[in-house]
Structure 1
Amino acid sequence: MPYLDLPSHRLHYRIDGDTDGSQSKPWLMCCNSLGTDLHMWDAQVAGLSRDFRLLRYDCRGHGLSSAPPPPYGLSDLGNDVLALLDALEIERAHFCGLSIGGLTGQWLGIHAGERVGKIVLCATSAKIGTAESWTARMNTVRENGLAALTAATVERWFTPGFNDVEPGTVGKVLDSFVATSIDGYIGCCAALAGADLWEDIERIANPLLALSGADDPVCPPADLEDITRRVQRGRHLSLPGRHIVNIESRRAFNVALLEFFDSKAADINEANL
């Protein structure tokens, strides 16, 4: 398994779509949401790895990435991305992130727009929740662990209909949730508590697609629509589902990404931005 060792922690990552060693495919980097791991993108691999070198990684404190002591800031998460790009000698990559991964994508667009091509923000906002709500969440997890949150998490992440039809898929996601490092989860909650990018996202000049879950109670479609109004080159699309919309509407999600990354637009050279 490939890892990047950093001074305070290590990042686990995986590359798909590069088995032939082709250098002609553009890079697409995917960042997971709070309490998941890189396997949350499994439904995208077959559809996207034909056209992209797909780089997935476990956000610090999630999956097989280690957890440095909390708290974390959003800049820590963004700099993890830049460190991974540097280590793999990737000058520029498209970026797709969901929830806290979408906040990471916004941070990159604001502070390192030259390192990313097109940006896809999924089920996210420029500010998610309140500092008080995240502090309460951290206290609950410290006292009771993550298993105590599973019932509420299922309700926020998936519609009842999807849970009924694909309980195995939902179960795998919940297994990843419960297995998340407590320090990693709390550290990322702290990053969410301190993140408010509404005044800064006007600086994002990269082409941007915002994808919402139509019934998402965490980051409703209005939040994604507001992002596209504020950035310089954004558009919004809502898909059926709740928060983990890339799984619940995986076919429509993949189609939306491929249309956004059409053959010409997938070239991330500066001239085409």
Structure 2
Amino acid sequence: MRLNYVENGPADAPVVLLGSSLGTTLEMWAPQVEVLAARHRVVAFDHRGHGESDAPKGPYSIEELGRDVVELLDALEVEQASYVGISLGGAVGLWLAQNASERFHRFAVICPPSNPAADAQMWADRAAQVRAEGTEAITDATLGRWFLPEFTETAAVRQMLIDTPDEGYAACCEALGSTNLLPGLTDITAPVLLVTTDSDTSIPPETVVPLASQIPGAHLEIIENAAHLVTYSHPEVINPLLLTHLA
């Protein structure tokens, strides 16, 4: 599986991988890359089925998405890295923390869906809608969940959603619809920064806050006056948290 990626920062600095949300590309990390690259070798990538990565026919699984990241580390000849992921990327981060811990120093998981299989039919319905009507059919509703009304700089994210391959988006929906990461949380050994927001209707905070007591030593941050795609809307809050955690 060929994942598209872009590197920034010193080649000999500690490596940080950035895993994006469902329906976006590595470009969603624009508010973080320059700040993180001052201290790290930053590798932002597109999940399978997204951006310029390969988009095989689905369904996909969270294991496949996670193994894609491990294979990317192998291709980069990187033994260990840290990982930052949001939404779908956060779920992938939780899988990696449970199943590939030897390859990672620490994790930041932001608004992660830890048990989306509990709402499997919703994910199946969304996959079917996108296959039938395209990602443009779900764009307005998605942006309404991702950002509060007062945040208006959404044009670039809207275009990412519209440009996402229909099959890739749908197949990642199916991956989420079959994923339950709760049973392995207590086995996580790497340091974890867990972030949620008070106004996230995609992955409500009440589904994220309890994870902090299940992941040993996890540090929880609840961002106020923010919705789901908080890395994009509130970099002035998120970036200092990431720098502190990754230091």
User: Which TM-score applies when normalising by structure 1?
Assistant: 0.87
Matched, 1:252 2:232: no
Matched, 1:142 2:115: no
Query: Which segment drifts farther, 225-234 or 69-78?
Result: 225-234
Which whole-Å deviations, capped at 9, do the CAs of 1:67-102 have from their partners, x for residues lacking one?
011010000000000000011110000001111111
**For the Cα contact (< 8 Å) 2:9–2:41, is it kept in 1?**
yes
- Post-superposition shift, 1:189? 0.6
Output the aligned Cα RMSD: 1.1
2:67 is matched with 79
**For the Cα contact (< 8 Å) 2:148–2:227, is it kept in 1?**
yes
Amino acid at match of 1:11: L
1:159 is matched with 148
2:57 is matched with 69
Query: Which segment drifts farther, 131-140 or 215-224?
Result: 215-224
Correspondence for 2:44 among 52, 56, 61: 56
1:90 is matched with 78
Bigger-Rg structure (1/2): 1
2:172 is matched with 188
2:122 is matched with 133
Matched, 1:233 2:217: yes
Unmatched tracts of structure 1, length 5 or more: 1-5, 263-273
Which whole-Å deviations, capped at 9, do the CAs of 1:96-128 have from their partners, x for residues lacking one?
111111110011010111101110000113113
Aligned mates of 2:64, 2:52 — CA distance in 1: 18
- Post-superposition shift, 1:224? 2.2
Amino acid at match of 1:16: N
**For the Cα contact (< 8 Å) 2:82–2:246, is it kept in 1?**
no
Correspondence for 1:13 among 5, 9, 26: 5
Match runs of 1:104-119 below 5 Å: 104-119=92-107
Amino acid at match of 1:106: L
Amino acid at match of 1:234: A
Unmatched tracts of structure 2, length 5 or more: none
User: Which TM-score applies when normalising by structure 2?
Assistant: 0.96
Query: Once the two structures are aligned, what percentage of the paired residues are identical?
Result: 34
> How many residues are paired up?
245
Amino acid at match of 1:175: Q
Q: Give SS of 2:186's match.
A: helix
Detail structure 1 runs of 4+ shifted over 4 Å in the superposition.
Answer: none
Aligned mates of 1:45, 1:221 — CA distance in 2: 26
1:31 is matched with 19
**For the Cα contact (< 8 Å) 1:224–1:236, is it kept in 2?**
no
1:171 is matched with 155
Q: Give SS of 2:84's match.
A: strand
Aligned mates of 1:159, 1:14 — CA distance in 2: 29
**For the Cα contact (< 8 Å) 1:213–1:244, is it kept in 2?**
no
